[in-house]
Amino acid sequence: MSLDAFGTILSPSLSSGGKSSSTLPVASDPSFPVTSRGASDPFARRLGTSTPDCYNLDELEAIVDAILTSSVIMTHVLVTGGTGFLGRHLTHRLLERDLDEIRVLTRSYDRELAERGATIVEGSLLEPSDVRTAVEGVDRVYHLAGKVTRRREASHEMYDLHVTGTRHLLEALGEVEPDKIVAASTSGTIGVSEDPEDVATEDSPVREDLVRDWPYYLSKIYAERVCREFLDDHDLPIVLMRPTLLLGPGDRRMSSTRDVALFLQRKIPAVASGGLSFVDARDAADGFIRAMERAEPGNSYLLGQANLSFESFFERLEALSGVSAPSMSLPDRAMVAGAHVLDRAMQWLGQESDVSPISAEMAQYYWYIDASKARRELDWQPRDPDETLHDTIQWLRQHHPELGSPSRQETSSDSSPSTAGSSLSGDPLESFVPDETLEFADRHSDDR
């Protein structure tokens, strides 16, 4: 809220250019009579209270508190990416709060969010006129719009949305002067390493050297630089959020939970040498809201629940789903080579491979982060990681029948790896791995 608007609440006569009979000197003594009250006292009228002879500082503080939490303060919130996995959880949470308007910029009308009470603004971040319409009169902005894919062919599309779209939004917001902007990036801009002992913090350097061949993360690095430019050069109040891999219920497009779905279909052929970090999308949404309420502009926060090796991750999924984890282990070079061979073969057939070459490359690294800053400064408390994995599995099975519950044989304690590791169609696990890869693995089994 502007100072002029706040002045209107404090003293209508001041905002209209007249002289107020009330003065507000600073006093160190809480009992000091700060201002005389009259029959026309705006505080008393606004709050429906009586009008004693004077205010003291404690009373003023309580009055200002009441005004700031009352409906006089109009709060208009814009969410970009509100129809995505994280964005929908965030928008649902915001709609449960006492806010005047939750506005969602989306390329197509979303009936579910509209019926819940959101204002839908149809448009694109790539069209400046759409963006100017979306930001008009907003006080708070959550910028979550993005495209999650590991395909190199989508690099230009990701750059356009993440970098150009972010620039269009921040340029438009420079004219609006919102209270705060909370922008989503990814932990992968800093939280990736070849060393399992390297756990990233907010002070870690950007790892452009490692992610330069992975378009999603590279475009997010460039988008972060755009945010930094508008923070430093244009004084926009931006807070940067870096969540890890998003899991949990509600991933309608399976953009983040696809690896869990592949596990349930037994389409992950081998255990990679690296490790991952993940966070529940519901808890990430809570972190974004807490950042809006508590974080100082210029800060960034990593959000993650657990750092796990892929072996440990698959073991947890096995315990929760009844689907056996892959038992085969391949040298890193063999896994990447096999993914490239399979990808070319699937392209020749006009299809996409389940495990892309980029996924195989990324799985060699450790994506570990430390979220203690968010816990400390935002009082962010994520749920137990196993609850997130359980809810992810249940939601996927409920909404994708092909990922249905395992058979009794698979969940029995005496099921053998050969049967528990079979695919839905009964093919053995090894059938998903090209012969060339298995031969390469045998020849280089000591390379790991």
Total tally of structural domains belonging to the chain:
2
Position 336 scores a pLDDT of: 52
Position 344 scores a pLDDT of: 55
- The residue among 90 and 428 whose pLDDT is bigger is 90
- Under the banding of pLDDT at 50, 70 and 90, the label for residue 68 is low
Rounded Cα–Cα distance for residues 289 and 91 (Å):
10
Contact 78, 91 (CB under 8 A): no
Contact 86, 284 (CB under 8 A): yes
Comparing CA positions, the residue from 365, 358, 162 lying closest to residue 258 is 358
Question: Is pLDDT at 148 greater than 90 in this prediction?
Answer: no
Position 150 scores a pLDDT of: 64
Percent of the chain with pLDDT over 90: 56
Contact 252, 85 (CB under 8 A): yes
Position 348 scores a pLDDT of: 59
- Let me know whether 166 and 143 are in one domain: yes
Domain contains 420:
no
- Let me know whether 61 and 91 are in one domain: no
Question: Is pLDDT at 4 greater than 80 in this prediction?
Answer: no
- Let me know whether 8 and 152 are in one domain: no
- Let me know whether 38 and 80 are in one domain: no
- Let me know whether 60 and 127 are in one domain: no
- The residue among 310 and 52 whose pLDDT is bigger is 310
Question: Is pLDDT at 314 greater than 90 in this prediction?
Answer: yes
Question: Is pLDDT at 366 greater than 80 in this prediction?
Answer: yes
- Let me know whether 230 and 252 are in one domain: yes
What does the pLDDT average to over 109-117?
96
- The residue among 127 and 272 whose pLDDT is bigger is 127
DSSP single-letter state for residue 301: E
- Under the banding of pLDDT at 50, 70 and 90, the label for residue 199 is very high
Position 33 scores a pLDDT of: 43
Position 327 scores a pLDDT of: 83
Mean pLDDT score of the chain, rounded to an integer? Answer: 78
Collapsing DSSP states into helix, strand and coil, what is residue 43? helix
What does the pLDDT average to over 79-105?
95
Domain contains 271:
yes
- For the chain, helix, strand, coil in percent to 5 are 45, 10, 40
State the residue range of the domain holding 37: 3-15+30-68
Position 335 scores a pLDDT of: 56
List the beta bridge partners of residue 303: 243
Collapsing DSSP states into helix, strand and coil, what is residue 22? coil
- Let me know whether 160 and 49 are in one domain: no
Domain contains 419:
no
Domain contains 106:
yes
- The residue among 404 and 146 whose pLDDT is bigger is 146
Percent of the chain with pLDDT over 70: 67
Position 350 scores a pLDDT of: 62
- Let me know whether 252 and 117 are in one domain: yes
pLDDT tens for 328-358 read 666 566 555 555 445 555 455 565 655 566 6
CATH number, domain of 368, equals 3.40.50.720
Question: Is pLDDT at 84 greater than 60 in this prediction?
Answer: yes
pLDDT tens for 6-63 read 444 444 333 334 433 333 343 444 443 444 334 334 334 334 444 455 656 777 777 6
What does the pLDDT average to over 385-399?
96
Domain contains 443:
no
The single-letter code of the amino acid at 274 is G
Contact 241, 292 (CB under 8 A): no
Question: Is pLDDT at 258 greater than 70 in this prediction?
Answer: yes
Q: Which residue has the tokens 């789903």?
A: 321
Position 166 scores a pLDDT of: 97
- Let me know whether 247 and 359 are in one domain: yes
- Under the banding of pLDDT at 50, 70 and 90, the label for residue 69 is low
Domain contains 210:
yes
- The residue among 359 and 309 whose pLDDT is bigger is 309
Domain contains 430:
no
Chain-centroid distance of CA 382 in Å reads 13
- Under the banding of pLDDT at 50, 70 and 90, the label for residue 179 is very high
Domain contains 411:
no
Q: Which residue has the tokens 């002067």?
A: 177
Comparing CA positions, the residue from 283, 275, 342, 336 lying closest to residue 308 is 275
What does the pLDDT average to over 424-442?
35
Q: Which residue has the tokens 């706040």?
A: 6
Position 362 scores a pLDDT of: 81
Using only the alpha carbons of the chain, give its radius of gyration. Answer: 27
Question: Is pLDDT at 188 greater than 90 in this prediction?
Answer: yes
Q: Tell how many helices (H) and how many strands (E) occur in the chain.
A: 21, 10
Rounded Cα–Cα distance for residues 428 and 432 (Å):
8
Question: Is pLDDT at 440 greater than 60 in this prediction?
Answer: no
- Let me know whether 37 and 89 are in one domain: no
Position 421 scores a pLDDT of: 33
Position 155 scores a pLDDT of: 79
- Let me know whether 197 and 259 are in one domain: yes
- Let me know whether 134 and 177 are in one domain: yes
Collapsing DSSP states into helix, strand and coil, what is residue 180? strand
Contact 181, 239 (CB under 8 A): yes
